[in-house]
Each structure stands twice: as C-alpha cells, then as structure tokens.
Amino acid sequence: MADIEVNNISVGELFQKFYIVPSYQREYVWKKSQVLHLLDDIRSEQIHEESSEYFIGSLVVCPSQTRDGAYDLIDGQQRFTTIFILFCAIRDSLSGLGADGLEGIKKSIVDVDTDQYGRDCYRPHLELQYEDAGEIFSQLIDGKNLTKDGTVSIKNIYGAYNTVREFLDDSFGDSVDDIRKFFGYVTRNVKLIRISTHNFGRALKIFETINDRGIGLNAMDLLKNLLFMNAKTYQFDSLKKYWKFIVDELYKIDERPLRFLRYFIFSTWGVPRLAKDELYDWLVKNDKRIGLKDNPVAFVEKMKEALEAYINFVNGKDSYGNSNPFLENISLLYKKRNSAKQHLVLLLAGRRLHPEIFSALCRDIESFLFVCLLVKEEIRTFEKIFSEWSLGLSRVKTMEDYKIFADDTFKVQKKKHASKFFVMFREIDNRSLPKYQIEYLLGKLTQFVDRKAYGGDMPLSMYCNSRDVHLEHILPRQPDSEVFKEFGVGADDPRLVWSVGNLALVEKSINMSLGNKPFSQKKFIYPKSRYLLTQIIFERPDIGNTVIDQAVSQIGTFDEWNKESIHQRARWLARLACIVWDVPATEE
C-alpha cells in the first residue's frame, strides 16, 4: 500500500469495505440539527438535478488494528455513522411499507466477508467498538426496537434514527419508489474523499492537518487524538479508561468540557488568558512544558485527578469530598450552576493545600465573589485575575504564606471596592439582586450575629434555603389602611418595601403571626424569633454586658417604623456587612 492513498469515491463504493470506529474514538455526538442539515443538503441537490454529484467531505482511515481486512475510522465517523443509520432507516421504512427486493439495501448494512480461515461470515459495514454505544447498534442492524435511554451515544443514535425516519416520512410519504430513488442517489451521486494510510500514527497526523486549528472539532477532540498519536500501543487501554472517565463525569455534572480544559490549564500553568480556539495550539506549543507528548498517560491522569476535585467543588465539597461550608455558601449565592464558575480556577490551583489553609481560601473566595457581585464587577475579568493568582497560590506552604497571599490579592481588590460596597449594600432592593441572593445576604448577616452571640455552627442553608425560614417585610408588601395611617406617605413604595433595611428573616410560624400588620403590632412579635438580628428590631435582650449584647452593640432598635427607620437600619446593616465580608472600613 502507498504511504498515503487518496480516492474520490461514491458512498456506494465506500460501503463495499468494512469499517470500525475504534474504542478510543469519541462517541457519536451529532444532534438532530446536524443530521437534518446533512439530509436536507443531499435532498436539495437531488431535487435540483438528479444526475448531479454532492460532496460530503473526507474520511481518514488506516488498516484496522483489531480485524484483518477492515479499516479503522480515524476521522469522519460522525458522517459515516449518520449515513449508516440512514441506510438502516431506509430499510425499515421500505419494509414497513411492504416493499420487497431489499437485498441491495440490506447488503449496504451487512454483507458477507471472509474470515482468516477462509470461511464466509456476515459483518456489518460499520462496527462501533466504544462501550458507550451499548447494544443499540446491534438493535439498529437487526431492525429491532431501539433502546431509548443510556449513555450520550445511545441517546444520540436513537435521536438520529428517529430524525431520519421523520425526514423520510416528511419528504416521501408512502412512496416506495421515491425512497428507493433517494437511496440510489445517496449511493451513486454522493461522493467523498477517502484518505488511506498504512499505519495509525500517520493517519492521526493527517487527521491533525485536516483539522488544523480545530476546524470542525474542538480542542478536547484534538487533544484526545494527539494523546493517542503519541502513546505507545500498550498505553491505549489506560488512555481509553481515563478519557472515558473524564468525558462521562463531565456529562454527569452537565459541564462544558472546554471550560474544564481551560480551567485545568489556567490553574496548573498560570496562563492568564486563553480563548477556546487557542487551546489546542497552546497545548502543542507548550508540549515541553507540560509533557503531553513524552508521557500522555501521565497528562491524562493529571486531568483525571483535577476533574475529581472539580466535581467535588461544583457540589460544594472540598478536594476529598468532605463538606465545606464556604463552598456550600457559594452554591447558595449562585443557584444557577453555570452562572459563575471562574472561582474554580483558584480552587483547582489550591486543591492540594492543607485543609485549614484550603478552608481559608474558600472563605476568602466566597467573600470576594459577593463583594464583586454587589459592586457589579465584570465576572469575565475573574478568569484572568484568578489565573494570575494561581501562580502565587502554588507557592503557599504555610498559613503565614497564605495570609501574605490573601493580603496581596483578595484584600487589595476588596479595598478598591470598599466605599462602593458600603453604599451599594445600603441601597440594596429588589432591583439590585434577585430574591435568592437577598436571602443569602440576610442569612449571612443573621448567621454571623447568632454565632457571635451563641457560638455553634448552624450552616447557612438553615438560614436562607429552608422552608421553615421566611423573608419578612417589616413594612408589608400589601399594606392596608392601618399601615398607611401609621407609616404615612410611601407605604406602598417598592423601593422602601424591598430595601435591605426593611427586610429580616423569621421562622415560618412567626411569619404567620406577623402577616400584614402595622409595625405597632409586629414589634412585639419580633423578640419571639430565635434570630438575634430579628429580635433587636424592637428590643435588645436585657442580659447585661455579655457576648450577646456585644454581638449587636452597633445596631439600634426601633420603637416606630418609618422611612428614616428603614434608611437607618440599612446603614447599620451595611456596616455589619463590611465586617461579615471582610471589607476594609470606610470613612462613612
């Protein structure tokens, strides 16, 4: 065989050979839109001119490493698999319409081959060796009902088959002749380039050249092939196992693979900025630094170890899967999983720190995220900042080292926002933050005061993520005539009703007693709450100069509730917030 053999062939000629998608290849990923795009293009060309030819791209193959006489598909398996699914769907559609004479179509799916002993055997023209395909391909080949649930590949193959069946129904209805003509057009007039080479390594290099800069593939796909291209044959099983773990686990947590890859690079090598389309080039150019080609298995093992920690962080736990209150708090601050994950760069960089130091890092990250959230700092800038900080974090060995690091990073940044933080906290209302973030901050304030007074370690989720805790509007959201009479002008002003100074946390049972009553009645109920910050809305516990009294020494009580009361309480809470989130004191 020539070193590289290039053939311009039809789909029908292509399906005269047998092909295998090796176990190390990526799974079938095409969705409905991609399948329809291919089918619609072919159909449009057929309608335009039945004798015209339609080009669908190229395939890269090499002799199979597991079966004599077959080819391993190195590139183009998504299109090839889709065409194979199309043939199965055409066979099933024609069979369902009672058509006979389907031998030619069936032969395009399964054909006679000769084994190493010279005996005839039946083989499908396409075999999937990766485990994610399960039994669905056998069901497809045999014309049986397909498994609907399972891995990503199973769901995608199931979806592709049904998409093709819908396409055939919409395009040809019950016309057996039209479906046959379409099959004939695909096999005779749809063309592609098959690039064959004598060995796997050369095939992967051709694949890399065709997909230069990631055209048509993302960096994870190219990285995977680069790893296999540089691995020894005996390393394939380990690579396949680790890579499958990475892909499966990212899917389970609904995480974008490229984001994880970027954060892995940022946290490990301190790269300050790298766009998605720059990832693969960076990996290739920095090979000597990262050792990707010299030891691909070690590289993937490092990725796997980082991913295990990453998954724990996403779930509010530390690197080892233990509960971490600060990471749990971040999940309450950002309930939408994909809304903010840049902090994972720093967590990955610090995942091997001593538990006490790592906990301090988590505390500072939570505090920093809320400060930046409140002052409207652009979240996208965090990636660059955290990537740069990762290098400094890698030099931290002791708690003293960490304190220096925190002073030079978190503290410096928060000092820039100190005045703005105080002002914006004081002015918080429902236009500033969504309700769940308002509940988060009230929970943090209430938890802080309780811990100062009583000690204990009740988690934040018991304050702001519990059915037993309600958000209380001191000035009711639906004021009645009594409230208007007592409060005066502005009783129905949403800026006052939703002001942070007008909000508190109360137990469900107490909230039912409060209702929409005026403050003159509510104030006697607040002291019954177990939350000290809520109790002192009206009166301070009379137990002398104790830690309880000291915990609320900077916050006053109110005998009347009016516009000025709301503003005053908002100022007091803003001062308390500067302590809770460790924001340097301002003149105000």
The confidence score (pLDDT) of residue 215 equals 40
- Judge whether 280 and 222 are in contact, CB under 8 Å: yes
Which pair of structure tokens corresponds to residue 523?
């104030």
Q: Residue 123 gets which letter from DSSP?
A: E
Mention every residue, 6+ apart, whose C-beta is less than 8 A from residue 571. Answer: 426, 501
**Beta-ladder partners of 111:** 123
Q: Do 383 and 342 meet the contact criterion of CB atoms below 8 Å apart? A: yes
* Other residues' Cβ atoms within 10 Å of the Cβ of residue 131: 13
Helices (H), 351-434: 355-374, 381-393, 399-406, 412-416, 418-426
Residue 139 pLDDT greater than 70, yes or no = yes
Q: What would the pLDDT profile of 342-376 be if each residue is shown by its tens digit?
A: 999 999 999 999 999 999 999 999 999 999 999 99
195-209, 300-314, 554-568, range with the lowest pLDDT: 195-209
331 contacts 323 by C-beta, under 8 angstroms: no
For residues 390 and 347, give the distance between their C-alpha atoms in angstroms, rounded to a whole number.
Answer: 9
pLDDT, residue 3, reads 77
C-alpha torsion angle, residues 341, 343, 344, 349 (rounded to 10): 160
Q: What pLDDT does residue 586 have?
A: 62
Residue type, 428: I
Q: Are 529 and 536 in contact (CB under 8 A)?
A: no
Q: How many residues does the chain have?
A: 588
Q: What's residue 213's pLDDT?
A: 41
Q: Are 471 and 407 in contact (CB under 8 A)?
A: no
- Predicted model pTM: 0.73
What are the distances in angstroms from CA 565 to CA 251, 309, 420, 471, 520? 51, 47, 22, 18, 13
- The yes-or-no verdict on residue 496 having pLDDT over 50 is yes
Q: Has residue 448 got a pLDDT over 50?
A: yes
Q: Are 94 and 176 in contact (CB under 8 A)?
A: yes
Instruction: Measure Cα distances from 290 to 43, 271, 358, 389 in Å.
Output: 47, 12, 25, 19
pLDDT of 541 > 60? The answer is yes
pLDDT tens digits, residue range 168-220? 999 999 999 999 999 999 999 999 999 998 877 677 677 766 665 434 456 78
- Answer yes or no: is pLDDT of 78 > 80: yes
| pLDDT (tens digit per residue) in 29-56 | 899 999 999 999 999 999 988 888 999 8
pLDDT score recorded for residue 300: 94
Question: Phi, psi (5° rounding) for residue 220?
Answer: -65, -40
**3-class DSSP assignment, residue 427:** coil
Helix (H) or strand (E) holding 288: helix 287-290
| pLDDT at site 255 | 87
Interacting residues of 131 by C-beta distance below 8 A, sequence separation 6+: 23, 244
> Which of the two residues, 523 and 117, has the higher pLDDT score?
523
- Judge whether residue 222 has pLDDT over 80: no
Sign of the Cα pseudo-torsion (262, 268, 273, 278, in order):
negative
Cα-based angle 233, 235, 238 (whole degrees, multiple of 5): 140
Domain boundaries of the chain, sorted by first residue: 4-210, 213-314, 435-580
Dihedral of alpha carbons 237, 238, 243, 246, sign: positive
Res. 383: pLDDT tops 80: yes
Query: Dmax of the chain from CA atoms?
Result: 100
Q: Count the alpha carbons within 13 Å of 142 in the hemisphere toward its beta carbon.
A: 9
Helix (H) or strand (E) holding 132: none
Q: Would you say 305 and 351 are in contact if contact means Cβ atoms under 8 Å apart?
A: no
Which candidate, 306, 247, 255, 258, places its Cα nearest to that of 25? 247
Higher pLDDT, 552 or 341: 341
Which residue, among 471, 469, 470, 499, has the nearest Cα to 561 in the 3D structure? 499
Say if residue 237 is exposed, middle or buried (CB neighbours under 10 Å; 0-12, 13-18, 19+). exposed
Q: How many CA atoms does the CB half-sphere of 534 hold within 13 Å?
A: 28
- pLDDT for position 515: 86
Q: How far apart are CA 182 and CA 180, in angstroms?
A: 5
pLDDT at res. 407: 95
- Which tokens hold the place of 378? 């652009």
Task: Specify the pLDDT at position 187.
Answer: 95
CA triple 378-383-387, angle to 5 deg: 140
Average pLDDT of the segment spanning 254-268: 90
What's the one-letter identity of residue 284?
V
d(CA 45, CA 51): 9
- At residue 180, the 3 state secondary structure works out as helix
Assign 1 a pLDDT band (cuts: 50, 70, 90): very low
Q: What is the 3-state secondary structure (H, E, C) of 449-510?
A: HHHHHHCCCCCCHHHHCCCCEEEEECCCCCCCHHHHHHHCCCCCCHHHHCCHHHEEEEEHHH
H helices of 149-199, in order, are 152-172, 176-189
Nearest partner of 108 among 83, 87, 132, judged by Cα = 87
